[in-house]
Amino acid sequence: MNSGLIVTYTKDLRALLAKTLSSQDAEDIAMEAQNHMSERASELERAGMTALEAEQQATQDFGDIKEMSVELAKGYPPKPPLDPSKLRWLPELSVVIFLGFAATTYSIYHGARGVESAAQNLIPSTLMLIVPGMMTGLGRLKYPRIRPISTLSRMATYGLILSLSSTACLVVLQISGKATLTETFPMFYGFCTASVVLYGIMLTTFKNGKAYNFVRRRLRD
């Protein structure tokens, strides 16, 4: 059925929801509301009402549109400052920038010293690729529908790979005796360990597994 009053109600509800929620969440909620009202109108028609009367009654039964927009928005994450679709290339762009920075550092020293310097610059920097995903994962403990986890997960994965690869370079240099600043290596190994831990937290909170559900229940309690 979905015509006339129900369509108008749905359009206005979507517009109100879009002020505080992402466009995708607003669309999902509005369509669910439209389906609910359409089913209700169909029931009323079968009970003897005209199509117009059924739609009027269905929208009235659903509730005041402003009050419903507030009620239906509960449990959804607030509207993000940027459209998630515009961030889809951010992980790859970040990797290019980080590798460019490492290449510049290498070009200053060259050889083993250049590799060592580039790795030491990369390891702590890669935390910046992992922390956004980890923070988003923690945000999911309150807003399970938060987006865009796929983009941030990809960026964090790149960060972890860069961190592990850079740490492996330091290990090789240290074992081969070509390293010059070995006294600072424990600090960089600590940064790499932190990357692994933060990445693990992100994975745990991105998936609706037992650990994630357990923490969510504890927070609600």
Regarding whether 91 and 137 lie in a shared domain, the answer is: yes
Residue written as token pair 């923490």: 215
CA proximity to 173, closest of 120, 103, 132, 134: 120
pLDDT digits (tens, 9 = 90+) for 173-204: 999 989 888 888 899 999 999 999 999 888 88
Q: Are 10 and 110 within one domain?
A: no
- Regarding whether 214 and 122 lie in a shared domain, the answer is yes
Q: Quick check: is 178 in a domain?
A: yes
Q: Which of 16-20, 30-34, 184-188, 205-209 has the lowest mean pLDDT?
A: 205-209
Q: Are residues 179 and 112 in the same domain?
A: yes
H-helix or E-strand containing 63? none
Neighbours of 188 (CB within 10 A): 21
The band of 2, judged by pLDDT with boundaries at 50, 70 and 90, is very low
Is residue 149 pLDDT above 50, yes or no? yes
**Domain end: 73, 98, 124, which one?**
73
Q: Are both 155 and 59 inside the same structural domain?
A: no
167 and 63 in a common domain: no
| % pLDDT > 90, the chain | 40
| Better-scored residue on pLDDT, 214 or 45 | 45
Q: Is there a single domain that holds both residue 213 and residue 179? A: yes
Same domain, 42 and 17: yes
Is residue 27 a part of any domain in this protein? yes
Same domain, 48 and 22: yes
Q: Is residue 202 included in any domain, yes or no?
A: yes
Place of tokens 């509960």: 74
CA nearest neighbour of 42 among 1, 93, 88, 87: 1
Contacts of 156 (CB under 8 A, 6+ apart): 129, 130, 132, 133, 134, 198, 199, 202
Quote the tokens at residue 166.
């850079």
* Structure-token match 């600590």, residue found: 190
Task: Please state, in angstroms and rounded to a whole number, the distance separating the CA atoms of residues 132 and 136.
Answer: 6
pLDDT band at 136 (very low <50, low <70, confident <90, very high): confident
pLDDT averaged over every residue in the chain: 85
Among 39, 73, 107, where does a domain finish? 73
Residue 150 reports pLDDT greater than 90: no
Structure tokens at 81: 């400052």
Look at residue 125 and tell me if it is in a domain. Answer: yes
Question: Same domain for 164 and 109?
Answer: yes
Residue 79 lies in a domain: no
Structural domain ending residue among the three candidates 17, 46, 73:
73
Q: Are residues 69 and 91 in the same domain?
A: no
Is residue 183 in some structural domain? yes
Q: Average pLDDT of 29-36?
A: 91
Q: Do both 47 and 114 map to the same domain?
A: no
Residue 216's pLDDT is: 65
Q: Is residue 36 part of a domain?
A: yes
> In Å, what is the CA distance from 89 to each residue of 129, 176, 215?
13, 38, 32
Domain range for 63 is 5-73
Domain count across the chain: 2
Q: How high is the pLDDT of residue 213?
A: 67
Q: Is residue 208 a part of any domain in this protein?
A: yes
